[in-house]
Amino acid sequence: MKKFLLLSLSLITILFVNAQDKPAPKSPPATTKAELASGAVVTITYSQPSVKGRTIGKDLEPLPGQVWRTGANKATVFEVSKDVTVEGKGLPAGKYALFTLVDGKTWTVIFNKTWDTWGAFKYKEAEDALRINVTSEKAAAASEKLNITAGEDGVVTLLWGDNKVSFTVK
């Protein structure tokens, strides 16, 4: 009985100590959510990479001409509870991977049907549900971590380094 009790206490201690040792993720998960006037709910789930002194577009994504997962780790998921328009173009209710493609100040925001994927490694243009082009602006203040916001007015904004990219969902 003593051996069983000692073994049980040892196992519990090991499990407790291991649970405490997990370091914070380098690109922590984040979610933004907004309910629009139409009643549609926009939810964006992503991981926040950090700039860490690197140069966006040179040694840090997005790289010119390459599809980016618009975050880190798994592809960013853009979900709408009802049919909406994005910059005036229709997007059915559902989940989408949110990718971006940068060409200078023009950012192509891509809503891809294959939303449950790692990065952009299996990205297929044929699976795009919608593409919109928006112009990036210089952000008022640089953002060390990727930050995506969604407001009740339907404006979705990506802040990444000194880049500010916005589009409207209605």
C-alpha triplet 128, 50, 138: angle, nearest 5°:
75
16-40 pLDDT, tens digit per residue, is: 555 556 777 889 999 999 999 999 9
Using DSSP bridges, classify how beta strands 137-150 and 128-135 pair: parallel, antiparallel or unpaired: unpaired
Question: In whole angstroms, what is the distance from residue 40 CA to residue 32 CA?
Answer: 14
35-72 pLDDT, tens digit per residue, is: 999 999 999 999 999 999 999 999 899 999 999 999 99
Which token pair is 34?
A: 């907004």
What does pTM read for this prediction?
Answer: 0.85
CA 78, 143, 60, 165 torsion-angle sign: positive
Determine contact, residues 109/167, Cβ cutoff 8 Å.
yes
Report domain extents, the chain.
25-168
Question: In whole angstroms, what is the distance from residue 120 CA to residue 113 CA?
Answer: 13
